[in-house]
Structure 1
Amino acid sequence: MRFDEIVIRTERLDVPALAAGDGPIVVCWHGFPDHPASFGPLAERLVAAGRRVVAPFLRGHHTSTVDAMPFGDGLTLAADAAAVNAALSGEPLDVIGHDIGAGVAGRLAATRPDLVRRVITMSVPPPATLRRIFDEPEQQQRFFYLFLFQVPGVAEELLNDKLISYLWRTWSPGLEVPAHVTEMYADPAIRANALKLYRANFDRSLHDPALAGLAPLAEKPAEIPMLVLAGADDGCITPDNYAGAATGLAPGSRVEVVAGGGHFLQLDRPDEVAALALDWFR
């Protein structure tokens, strides 16, 4: 998929993004360890169906924003997403979020439903139910990297090509890490910002105090129905973790387990995801 790189000028930040196609906009938010270009196979199918795909870089994950990340909390990313939607259109937009981007999309829908038309999240349960997965020792083991990233010095040393390759291969069996991901995380500053996202889960000094008032709203079920996609073969968050997802979703929402899909559904099963997305957006 051939993307153009654009800059979305918002009230919060000039957000670099990859974009392709013409028509109604679908905003796609990436996760870790990933890059907007990984939406390429899915974008190709959405563009062929008459949509414009805009895939922003998370704050701090592009050379132009690498020094613009004092905070790493989910509300910061959701506020960025709200600013992006407002800058792109005067109408609510369709949003897809994968991995960390799923949390971005879910919190955006919960805090600014006026900016969102339809929402799809992939590979992570909704924010309102996500905490429960930490109750299972098996899932804690799969989350070893999350706890590893809290250790200063050790995390910086071990977040390298070898670990990233391991995560990709175990999260989506048979899938090798793309070159664009390896190139992104070769930058020590971007690796440091990725660690900041994970450390903000435990370190409240990395939460923007100006957004604290949104926290109770952000963790409640969004008013907008969501399509939640899980990979049947996801080696990061297994499908059984979605069993209680309905309690964190608005009426009319759906949870779909994609057969043969790993964690990186946009690459594993782009045909199936595109078909589900286009149907949901209709």
Structure 2
Amino acid sequence: MFEEIVVGTERGDVPALAAGDGPVVVCWHGFPDHPASFGPLAERLVAAGRRVVAPFLRGHHPSTVGELPFGDGLTLAVDAAAVNSALGGAVDVIGHDIGAGVAGRLAAIRPDLVRRVITMSVPPPATLGRIFAEPAQQQRFFYLFVFQVAGVGEALLNDKLIDYLWRTWSPALEVPDYVTAMYADPAIRANALKLYRANFDRSLHDPALTDLAKLSEKPAEVPMLVLAGADDGCITPDNYAGAATGLAPGSRVEIVAGGGHFLQLDSTDEVAALALDWLS
């Protein structure tokens, strides 16, 4: 149902998948994933009269693989601000996985550019750091730590790992062919590693955004709907227990029964109903 478009922004051209007409909902994907995973959710949003625009994260499309000098989450959030501005200003935003961090940081640094915000499968940025205190969660994050080792990360990030992560995080799903095809590109795999290495390597943070960093990790002023899968094999529901402290008044945390990590695919109807209610 999607067509590929290019959103021209002040930070460069952003390739995206788009469908429908009406008020815009921007959907940001995560790892290891692709904007096309929003397809089933987009069908429901489009049927409700919305236009869905699902951009590729910087460095995750053949046209932008050479445009990721920095991999910090703030860089991606500023990209998202530029996309919203180009699409008309304050629009609705949905973010999944890494995209959830994009949406949360965008709401923190540019609340004027968002209307309603939904994040999926990752706690809010202001509370995300707490999950590293739990050994069991650190074990589930094994890939994140292995990715930090030069050479080892490159060797590990392959089809077998991506298949393992999908089967572990959302056992009812198989890796879509479009995801396999995306990560077959060594340049895209290298950029995915850069995003993870930027969690610990400050040299991968854009120094021009230093002042914004003071805002990006604080609770956003914009109320958010935070969705988590009850059966998520990546970040388990107990990690959302303190999420309210990182959310604005009026926010909600919903645990989707039977949902895995890729909620937009394995719990599409439930997520669509929650999203349409929140966005309305």
Match of 2:133?
135
The separation in 1 between residues aligned to 2:101 and 2:6, in whole angstroms, is: 23
For 2:147, the equivalent position in structure 1 comes to: 149
Residue 63 of structure 1 corresponds to 62
Distance 2:113 2:152 in 1: 40
Identify the residue that residue 53 of structure 2 maps to in structure 1. Answer: 54
Instruction: Give me the whole-angstrom Cα distance separating, in 2, the residues matched to 1:235 and 1:269.
Output: 15
Write out aligned runs for 1:161-200 (5 A): 161-200=159-198
Q: Please report the RMSD computed on the Cα atoms of aligned residues, expressed in angstroms.
A: 0.4
2-structure distance, mates of 1:32, 1:216 = 25
Count of aligned residue pairs for this structure pair: 280
Which runs of at least 4 in structure 1 moved beyond 4 Å after TM superposition? none
The residue aligned with 2:200 is: 202
Secondary structure class of the residue paired with 1:133 = helix
> Deviation at 1:158?
1.2
- What letter matches 2:219 in structure 1? P
Q: Secondary structure at the match of 2:123?
A: coil
Please tell me whether the aligned partners of residues 172 and 266 of structure 2 are also in contact (alpha carbons under 8 angstroms).
Answer: no
Question: 5+ unaligned residues in a row in structure 2: which ranges?
Answer: none
Q: Percent sequence identity over matched residues?
A: 86
* Partner Cα separation in structure 1 for residue 216 and residue 153 of structure 2: 29
Partner of 1:105: 103
* Counterpart residue type for residue 175 of structure 2: V
Q: Which string of whole-angstrom CA distances, capped at 9 and with x for unpartnered residues, describes residues 107-163 of structure 1?
A: 000000000000000000000000000000000000000001001111111100000
Equivalence for 2:38: 39
Corresponding residue of 2:237: 239
Once the two structures are superposed, residues 138-196 of structure 1 have per-residue CA deviations (whole angstroms, 9 ceiling, x without a partner) of 00000000001001111111100000000000000121100000000000000000000
- Structure 1 CA distance, aligned partners of 2:193 and 2:206? 16
> Distance between the aligned counterparts of 2:187 and 2:217, measured in 1?
29
Instruction: Write the letter of the residue equivalent to 1:199.
Output: R
Aligned to 1:228, the other structure's residue is in SS state strand
Question: Do 2:29 and 2:57's aligned partners in 1 also have CA atoms closer than 8 Å?
Answer: yes
Partner of 1:28: 27
Structure-2 separation of matches of 1:46 and 1:166:
30
Q: CA deviation at 1:13?
A: 1.7
8 Å CA contact 2:29, 2:56 repeated in 1: yes
Distance across 2 between alignment mates of 1:244 and 1:169: 27
Structure 1: give runs of 5+ residues left out of the alignment: none
Partner of 2:3: 4
Q: Show the counterpart of 2:263.
A: 265
Counterpart of 1:87 in structure 2 is 86
